[in-house]
Structure 1
């Protein structure tokens, strides 16, 4: 059955909250609704005030609902990579019959072997966020992607488990629920971002994905289509804005406007003869500032961030990966970011900008990635996630939920009709029982 339906992505960022409603049909994703609201109650990607964050989420959702002309109930939620840990996992269970003979492997067996792989002692402050299966092994035969329907006695699973701070997971999901929404899926943000930003070859041979966000900068190393490493630098676009505000002695709001309208990440690319007025605190008349001077302020902070990232990536030899560096996120919109990064990282660098109509800005990369991740999630991956989150429906695409509910209703209706027919044939003395069961099933 072809997967289709409506998918909703929710990106709870430090500086903005974005919601995208997408229609997935015939392997095509069409954006039908967008909502964007200034974030509140967050600091460096983490929720610090649930009430304020909930209000901002509600406003973004309302905008997307109005444009898409539908009510949003379920959303794909991204979790920040703060203190994320990635570890291999391995589990094995017996799947034979009571007499010891081989039996057909089903979904329950997949869930059991996943739970067996997750039997590890975690500190009380950490929790399993996600688990991704690499392969299944049936009676020693490895490389199996989906063991359901196969016959065997012993089932093994090898995969990767992601664990994160329990506080981040709880607070994020709490905000979603208090905003009147249900999580249709939970995904680590860098993992979702790779779905949109990286090509198949970049994911296969290895690449470095840098998300230049407002509150923090996240680095993800991808190789063999797997998230191998993450690092979060606690500085982002907000620090650039604050630098401009302090150096030019202007308000933060003015500094943000100046950065967007006149900012360059590489001072050598800034127009040397361009000047613009700046409202300075304590002075009645605006002061003229050159674009080159502004670029030097921006470049100084971004250079610090990139140099820290380079030291981290050098330690794990990630910069030798053939895919190079892919940069996205809101701050990637600054002219000259690509050139500055190429100079510091000394490797090939490219920018990722979404090409969806009306969303051609790198700040929408994350939320688009969440939608694409949900659309392309395989059935076996959803079943594996049941071991972490028992409610399977949370991870079912909306369209599949509708199909399942429709099929269930049809089965129930068929069962009701069969029962009614049997009661009618049994005679009038069973009329009371027939009415009871008819009412009960209805």
Structure 2
């Protein structure tokens, strides 16, 4: 494959998706797509490497046939489960006698910034640079070619459990592929799905997946916070199956063909047949009754998300909420979300031919994010390959993790385990009146305390 062609691999709970895309004149052209039922994956985590690798092989084979290419290298996503982010900084002396900063100097300062005390069960997934500093001059995005004596880097590192990362690498390897980049799915989506204004002023991206739901908070073009709820579209399907006493396959078809997320949008008079286990003849149910089953589960997910996001005042951000993922395709989902979160909501749907469904947002985001990475980003990322010096000292690590930019000792990922303990309750004032009543001083404190 040439350097302008990329393959994104989305290892989801319910499906494995592969997208082959080529970047031409700044635009991503999709050449092929593979979509297979996922096996060996639970809540976004690979639990059976052999089954997962077989599902990956089948999806890759589909994409190869449609794109007419042989796939070797892939950009694979890693979910936000138990990921942490913390600030990092490094400093080195310029090595060249001419004092001109080179690629090697950038790599050296990156390695210096990644020297961290980490527990033995964690490893660095990515390094994100905020700025370089040359002899005290800050705000530099690419220092190469500049002249100086001292080079500094300020940024953030993302770490994850070694088990999750190893299982992803092993499954990809067993399927005959090479994972050239492992990218956090929340980071890839938030940096590609949201437009420039949404990333700048602050927006929440909620990925309604099959096995779990992930919310990411973006502000000042940086991912600031992520929370994971361990329920998704798969739970909606199980609810339909149990309540209506029908098979999981039939329940999935009912959700897809007749489902509404908001019962107010569904019709009482519109009825359709369902196959009931133990009965020879189909029974009829109304569209509204099915919507009531669906909404009950979606409400539970949204309520838990509301607690997590309200506790950090993220719902006050002007960008509101952007929904994506397979469940976001349910009619009425944006209306229900707008009512539950009391903010403006829109659904993101890719505009590429053949991908016009929210479930394809993630694999498309992976290839888009990778294709748009700058030279300096790629150079910094290359320092992850075998050059990182990591100390394994669990006691020190517990003190070092600050998690994100909001407050000391807070992790980037809230995995949903302690959400019920959070007591903060969001005001239910109309969205417009919230902003009308806020003073400049209050906004300034909000950003200083939380997003700066």
User: Could you say which TM-score interval applies, normalised by the shorter chain?
Assistant: 0.7 to 0.9
Q: After the TM superposition, list the runs of 4 or more consecutive aligned residues in structure 1 that deviate by more than 4 angstroms.
A: none
Secondary structure of the 1:121 match is: strand
Matched, 1:45 2:44: yes
Q: CA deviation at 1:196?
A: 3.2
Deviation at 1:84, TM superposition (A): 1.1
1:26 maps to 25
Give the TM-score of the pair, scaled to structure 1. 0.86
Please give the residue correspondences for 1:396-415 in structure 2 after superposition, counting only pairs within 5 Å: none
Q: Which residue of 2 aligns with 1:425?
A: none
1:171 pairs with 2:170? no
1:278 aligns with 2:274: yes
Aligned position for 1:77: 76
Residue in structure 2 matched with residue 223 of structure 1 by the alignment: 219
Query: Which of these residues, 114, 127, 136, is aligned with residue 140 of structure 1?
Result: 136
Tell me, in whole angstroms, the C-alpha distance in 1 between the residues paired with 2:343 and 2:385.
40
User: 3-state DSSP class of the match of 2:260?
Assistant: coil
Kept in 1, the 8 Å contact 2:199–2:220? The answer is yes
2:111 aligns with 115
State the 1:4 CA deviation.
Answer: 6.0
**2:327 equivalent among 325, 331, 347:** 331
The structure carrying a bigger helix percent of its residues is 1
Listed as ranges, the gaps of 5+ residues in structure 1 are 392-442
Pair member with larger Rg: 1
CA contact (8 A) 1:96 1:152 kept: no
Cα drift, residue 112 of structure 1: 1.1
Q: Determine the structure 2 residue equivalent to 1:411.
A: none
1:363 corresponds to 2:359: yes
Corresponding residue of 2:10: 11
| Distance of 1:213 and 1:238 partners within structure 2 | 8
> Structure 1 residue 374 and structure 2 residue 373: aligned?
no
Aligned equivalent of 2:448: none
- Does the 8 Å contact 2:191/2:199 carry over to 1? no
Indicate if the aligned counterparts of 2:321 and 2:345 stay in contact, CA closer than 8 A.
Answer: yes
- Whether 1:354 and 2:350 are equivalent positions in the alignment is yes
In the TM superposition, what whole-angstrom CA distance separates every residue of 1:207-249 from its partner, at most 9, and x where no partner exists? 1000000000011111111111111100000000000011101
Q: Determine helix, strand or coil for the equivalent of 2:116.
A: coil
1:121, distance to aligned residue in structure 2 (A): 0.7
Contact 1:193 1:370 in 2 (8 A): yes
Contact 1:265–1:334 (CA<8 Å) still a contact in 2? yes
Rounded Cα–Cα distance in structure 2 between residues aligned with 1:390 and 1:126: 15
CA RMSD of aligned residues (A): 1.4
Q: Partner of 2:69: helix, strand, or coil?
A: coil
Unpaired runs of 5+ residues, structure 2, are 388-452
Alignment correspondent of 2:90:
91
- Conserved 8 A contact 1:137-1:157: yes
- Could you tell me which residue of structure 2 aligns to residue 418 of structure 1? none
Instruction: Name which of 140, 148, 155 aligns with 2:151.
Output: 155
| CA distance, structure 2, for counterparts of residue 209 and residue 135 of structure 1 | 25
- The aligned residue for residue 194 of structure 1 is 190
The answer to whether the 8 A contact 1:196-1:365 is kept is no
SS in 2 for 1:30: strand
CA contact (8 A) 1:218 1:232 kept: yes
What is the TM-score with the length of structure 2 in the denominator? 0.84
Give the deviation of 1:195 after TM superposition: 3.5
Partner Cα distance (1:34, 1:304) in 2: 33
Question: Does the CA contact (< 8 Å) of 1:196 and 1:368 recur in 2?
Answer: no
How many residues are paired up? Answer: 387
Question: Which structure is higher in RCO with an 8 Å CA cutoff and minimum separation 6?
Answer: 2
Q: Deviation per CA, 1:401-434: give whole Å up to 9, x if none.
A: xxxxxxxxxxxxxxxxxxxxxxxxxxxxxxxxxx
Following superposition, the deviation at residue 389 of structure 1 comes to 2.0
Q: What's the counterpart of residue 382 of structure 2?
A: 386
